[in-house]
Amino acid sequence: MNGMTHPGCALDSQDWAVAHTRVRGYRLILCNLNNDVRGTEGVVNEIENCPACLQGMVEFLGSMAASLCESIAQNAGADRAAAARRMEQMLAEAINDLPR
C-alpha cells in the first residue's frame, strides 16, 4: 500500500480514523516506554505511507505532547503558558542546533 490510503481511511470515516489513530498512538507510546523496537516497527508498518494515518498520528502525538507538557508544568506549580514558553525555548535551541 506504499503511498496509498488504507481502505478505512478511504471511507472518509472520521470515527474510524480517530479510533485507529488513538489505538496506534497509545501503542506507539507504550512501545517506546518499554523499549520495544519490534512493537514500534509494527505500528510504523501499519501506518505505512497512508496520508490520513500519517496526519492523524502527527495530530495525536502533538496533542499528547501538549497535554504532557501542561501536566508537568502544573505539577511544578506553573501553567500552560509556562509550558508553552519552555517549548518555545526548546524549539529555539533545536533550530540553533540545525546543521548549517
Q: For the residues 20-44, what does the mean pLDDT come to?
A: 93
pLDDT tens, residue by residue, 44-90: 998 888 888 888 899 999 999 999 988 888 888 888 888 889 889 99
Q: At what angle do helices 37-47 and 14-33 cross, to 10 degrees?
A: 160
How far is the first Cα of the chain from the last one, in angstroms, to the nearest whole number? 36
Q: For the residues 39-48, what does the mean pLDDT come to?
A: 91
- Residue 61 CA to residue 79 CA, distance in Å, equals 20
Give the number of residues written for the chain: 100
Which residue is it, cell 518555545?
Answer: 88
Whether the Cβ atoms of residue 83 and residue 73 lie closer than 8 Å to each other = yes
Q: For the residues 5-11, what does the mean pLDDT come to?
A: 63
Model confidence, pTM = 0.74
pLDDT tens, residue by residue, 11-29: 566 677 778 888 999 999 9
C-alpha distances out from residue 7 to 13, 18, 52, 58, 62, Å:
10, 14, 11, 20, 25
| pLDDT of res. 42 | 94
Helix (H, G, I), strand (E, B) or coil at 48: coil
